[in-house]
């Protein structure tokens, strides 16, 4: 192969939710990305929302689907972030998922310098949500860049392959066998080891019109 044609690697931060599954599906299936090596990273985020177990199960099953149904190869890496101890502070505040993803994603890219692109599951639904979304995005990008202060190489670029699509449009693009395993609820209810969506959290309310939960 001509080395000048070699594409940089993409890091895909993957939670098993609708948005990041949509990004993963796009990276796995689109001609645009087919020559880019893919590294997938899942963070087991343990916090008072208690979502880690439901997400881990979604991630495992969805990645197995692509191993079987796609010719594209990928490397899977994992890490753990645990703020269960914050419960004692009786605080509603604990690190935002996107900040944790920025910090861990940046460090993954520092460790694997072939990563020059980092794919995020931002959607039109996020952008249109208003509120403090822009400020949260800026903080997340600042966290990512800060990790690179000691590096000589340029900071990897962010890509948002689904920024033009709403959550509902992303959902409609996913194969049925993937939809079955995607996890979206922020505060799952566990019964006999099986997780069910709470039907009350922000994401459950967002999806109730197009997913029969």
DSSP code for 154: P
Minimum Å gap between C-beta 202 and Zn ion is 8
The distance of closest approach from Cβ of residue 168 to Zn ion in the complex, given in angstroms and rounded to an integer, is 17
- DSSP E strands: which ranges in the chain? 9-13, 38-46, 74-82, 115-119, 157-159, 189-191, 194-196
d(CA 74, CA 212): 31
Output 60 or 200, the one with its CB closest to Zn ion: 200
- Nearest-approach distance from CB 166 to Zn ion, in angstroms: 19
For residue 186, give the DSSP letter: S
Query: Rounded distance, CA 176 to CA 148, Å?
Result: 39
CA angle 147, 59, 10 (to 5 degrees): 45
Alpha-carbon gap, residue 103 to 142, rounded angstroms: 10
Q: How wide is the angle at C-alpha 157 spanned by C-alphas 103 and 165, nearest 5°?
A: 95
- Residue matched to tokens 């192969």: 1
- For Zn ion, the closer of residues 107 and 187 by Cβ is 187
Query: Is the Cβ of residue 110 or residue 201 nearer to Zn ion in the bound state?
Result: 201
What DSSP line would sit under 150-199, residue for residue?
Answer: G-SSPPPEEE-TTTTS-HHHHHHHS-HHHHTT----SS-EEETTEEE--S
Output 76 or 198, the one with its CB closest to Zn ion: 198
* Closest CB 104 distance from Zn ion, rounded Å: 24
- List of residues contacting Zn ion (CB under 5 A): 185, 197-198, 201, 204
Closest to Zn ion by CB, 78 vs 210, is: 210
Q: Name the minimum Å distance from CB 51 to Zn ion.
A: 9
Identity of the residue, 109 or 204, whose beta carbon is nearer to Zn ion in the bound complex = 204
C-beta of 200: minimal distance to Zn ion in Å? 6
If residue 109 lies in a helix (H) or strand (E), which one and from where to where? helix 97-111
């Amino acid at each position: 192969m001509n080395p000048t044609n070699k594409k940089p690697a993409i890091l895909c931060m993957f939670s098993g939710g609708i948005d990041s599954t949509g990004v993963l599906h796009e990276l796995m299936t689109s001609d645009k990305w087919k020559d880019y090596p893919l590294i997938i990273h899942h963070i087991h985020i343990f916090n008072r929302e208690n979502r880690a177990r439901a997400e881990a199960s979604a991630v495992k099953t969805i990645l197995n689907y692509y191993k079987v149904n796609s010719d594209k190869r990928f490397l899977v890496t994992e890490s753990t972030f645990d703020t269960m101890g914050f419960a004692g502070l009786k605080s509603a505040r604990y690190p935002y998922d996107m900040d944790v993803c920025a910090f861990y994603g940046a460090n993954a890219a520092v460790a694997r310098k072939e990563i020059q692109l980092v794919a995020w599951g931002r959607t039109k639904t996020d952008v249109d949500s208003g509120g403090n979304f822009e400020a949260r995005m800026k903080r997340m990008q600042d966290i990512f860049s800060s990790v690179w202060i000691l590096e000589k190489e340029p900071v990897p670029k962010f890509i948002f392959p689904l920024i033009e699509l709403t959550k509902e449009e992303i959902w409609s693009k996913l194969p049925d066998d993937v939809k079955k395993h995607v996890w979206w609820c922020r505060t799952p209810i566990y019964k006999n080891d099986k997780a069910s969506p709470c039907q009350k959290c922000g994401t459950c309310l967002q999806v109730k019109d197009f997913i029969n939960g």
